[in-house]
Amino acid sequence: MKLHMMVLLASTAFMPAVALAQAPQPAPRPAPAQAGAQVPAAADFVNRAAVSNMFEIQSSQLAQQKAQNDRVRQFAQSMVQDHTAAGDKLKSAVQGIQGATVPTSLDQPHQQMVQTLQSASGSGFDRDYIQMQVTAHRDAVSLFDQYAQNGDNQQLKQFAQQTLPTLREHLQSVEQIQTSLPPARVGATQGGGQQPQQTAQNQAGQDPSRIVVQQPAPTVRVDQASPQVTVQQPQPNVTVRQPQPEILVRQPQPTVTVDIPQPEIIVRMPQPDVNVAMAQPEVQVNQPQPQVQVVQPQQQPEVQVQPAQPQVQVQQVQGQPQVQVQAADNQPNVRYERAEPRVVVNQPQGQPNVRMEQQGEGQQANSQQQTAARPADTTTAPQTTGALPGAQALTVSRVNDMNLYNTQGNELGDVERVVQGPDGKQYVVIGAGGFLGMGEKHVAIPVERVALRGDRLIIQGLTEDQIRALPSFDRNDRSFRQLEGNQPIQVSVVR
């Protein structure tokens, strides 16, 4: 009897080993992302993300056809929709990235996983599909999380940041589905899964003194531990792409000097047509008859004739004579002739100075260069403390903007131009008198007689009447050369 018991126990112990050997092996899976691995480059990220996305779509399309569990089919349908949209976004993000292309086929490990699903059926297909989705989504979450934080391309980083929340929702859903699926039963045999009873004696009806041992079929449950995967990471291939250096050329604002001479206004005033109609005066002369007295003296008569002065009355029409001045109906014809301005652009010769600066450097040097490049203000009057006259150089353009005064402070006229005569002397041409430029007289005064007091040009010993008495200056006289606006002239300075 002991021998029968040992044989029976040995046979039952051998059954789990046989059932374990017949259990289906897990499908092959690609190596997961190694913890602390280096962040992939842009091209590597695009390749891995596209392959993972295509696998999700193809495996989920199989699940829509072969899955038996309703939750599995619903999950597969959402995978096809979400990952198709993610693939379109990835193609848009890759545009313009050098060296990055989206693959159109699966790699070898993912092709083997699809083939495994194609050969699976029933509840085994559901378990294999869900297990592959759990593994693939864990790897995808790790890949997208690394690149979203430390990726080398801004467009792909933004894509990873936008897609990562959806991948995490998928992983959470598929893990919940995995826990709800029934475990695989190992050790079931053909014929309805009933293990035939093992007896050590004959069937009932034989000698009742014999002992019959009935061993029920054992239920064996095998928990498959997670496989230990060893990943050998070769030395990474680091590619450094140095973009073209950015050369910044700062062109300062060019200085444009525009010399606009004083405009020449020519007013031609025709002689007025004056008609004076003088009526003939009416003269009335009233001559009274003379009074004649004849006194007859005794002697010879003395005849005295006293003629009276005739009274003449001239009656003249009251009031002033009617003077009719017929002026033109329209306004005087004023013609404004202005020459085109001459633009002088002073630009340094040669190639521009290209300077490469590191961030944070060169600020003090730029400040010093700007201070040194600022020209001195030659138009500011020097500070004089004594009465001794000095001399100062003024530009012609500044003198043209000034007025001329006498020592009493009376304005004599405005400076129109500075000319140089045939004798080599410089003259200031002013316009005196007139109204709104009409009837103005132009007079040339030597520069040596003009002095600068504060911001005014003054001249001693001239009044307005004396200015009018001076000979007029002919501005069309070509023997006088007009000086340019940036040409300096020496003017005496008095206090």
61-87 per-position pLDDT tens digit: 999 999 999 999 999 999 999 999 999
Q: How far is CA 341 from the centre of its chain?
A: 34
pLDDT value, residue 299: 60
Give the strand pairing for 426-432 and 334-337.
unpaired
The CA distances from residue 210 to 1, 4, 204, 205, 213, in Å, are: 10, 13, 10, 11, 10
Give the strand pairing for 450-453 and 488-493.
parallel
Domain ranges of the chain: 22-180, 390-493
Is a pLDDT exceeding 80 seen at residue 411? yes
What is the three-class DSSP state of 225?
A: coil
Is a pLDDT exceeding 60 seen at residue 204? no
What is the three-class DSSP state of 454?
A: coil
Q: How many CB atoms lie within 10 A of CB 59?
A: 23
- One-letter amino acid for residue 208 of the chain: P
Return the residue matching tokens 């039952």.
Answer: 12
Q: How confident is the model at residue 305 (pLDDT cuts 50, 70, 90)?
A: low
- One-letter amino acid for residue 48 of the chain: R
User: What mean pLDDT do residues 51-60 have?
Assistant: 94
Q: Which of 398, 388, 404, 417 is nearest to 450 (CA)?
A: 404
| Choice among 140-144, 213-217, 399-403 with the minimum mean pLDDT | 213-217
Q: How confident is the model at residue 216 (pLDDT cuts 50, 70, 90)?
A: low
Is a pLDDT exceeding 50 seen at residue 385? no
Query: Is the distance from CB of 76 to CB of 64 less than 8 angstroms?
Result: yes
Distance CA 114, CA 152 (A): 32
Task: Tell me yes or no: is domain 22-180 CATH 3.40.50.300.
Answer: no
Choices 3.30.70.360, 3.65.10.10, 2.30.30.240, 1.20.190.20: CATH for 390-493: 2.30.30.240
Is a pLDDT exceeding 60 seen at residue 209? no
Q: Which of 459, 452, 461, 416 is nearest to 434 (CA)?
A: 416
Q: How far is CA 321 from the centre of its chain?
A: 78
Q: How confident is the model at residue 427 (pLDDT cuts 50, 70, 90)?
A: very high
Is a pLDDT exceeding 50 seen at residue 386? no
Q: How far is CA 99 from the centre of its chain?
A: 30
The 8-class DSSP code of residue 247 comes to P
Is a pLDDT exceeding 80 seen at residue 293? no
| Top-confidence residue, 361 or 100 | 100
22-180 against 390-493: fold identical: no
> How large a percentage of the chain has pLDDT more than 90?
34
| Top-confidence residue, 192 or 416 | 416
Q: Which residues does 233 contact at the CB level (< 8 Å), separation at least 6?
A: 34, 37
Is 301 exposed, middle or buried (CB count within 10 Å of its CB: 0-12, 13-18, 19+)? exposed
Query: Is the distance from CB of 32 to CB of 233 less than 8 angstroms?
Result: no
Q: Which residues does 181 contact at the CB level (< 8 Å), separation at least 6?
A: 69, 123, 126, 127, 130
Query: Is the distance from CB of 87 to CB of 57 less than 8 angstroms?
Result: yes
Query: Is the distance from CB of 481 to CB of 420 less than 8 angstroms?
Result: yes
Note the pLDDT tens digit of each residue in 137-176.
999 999 999 999 999 999 999 999 999 999 999 999 999 9
Q: Which of 450, 441, 474 is nearest to 402 (CA)?
A: 450
Q: Which residues does 61 contact at the CB level (< 8 Å), separation at least 6?
A: 76, 80
What are the backbone angles phi and psi of residue 284, rounded to the nearest 5°? -115, 125
What is the three-class DSSP state of 74?
A: helix
Distance CA 114, CA 95 (A): 29
pLDDT value, residue 160: 93
Instruction: Count Cα neighbours of 79 within 13 Å in the Cβ-side half-sphere.
Output: 30
Q: Which of 312-316, 359-363, 471-475 has the highest mean pLDDT?
A: 471-475
| Top-confidence residue, 1 or 78 | 78
Distance CA 465, CA 138 (A): 105
Is a pLDDT exceeding 70 seen at residue 115? yes
Instruction: Supply the DSSP string of 268-335, one letter for each residue.
Output: --PPPEEEE--PPPEEEEE-PPPP------SSSPPP---PPPPEEEEE--SS---EEEE--SSPP-EE
Distance CA 46, CA 28 (A): 23
pLDDT value, residue 259: 77
Q: How confident is the model at residue 37 (pLDDT cuts 50, 70, 90)?
A: low
Q: How confident is the model at residue 236 (pLDDT cuts 50, 70, 90)?
A: confident
What does pLDDT average to over the chain?
74
Dihedral sign of CA atoms 399, 405, 409, 412 in order:
negative
Query: Is the distance from CB of 126 to CB of 65 less than 8 angstroms?
Result: no
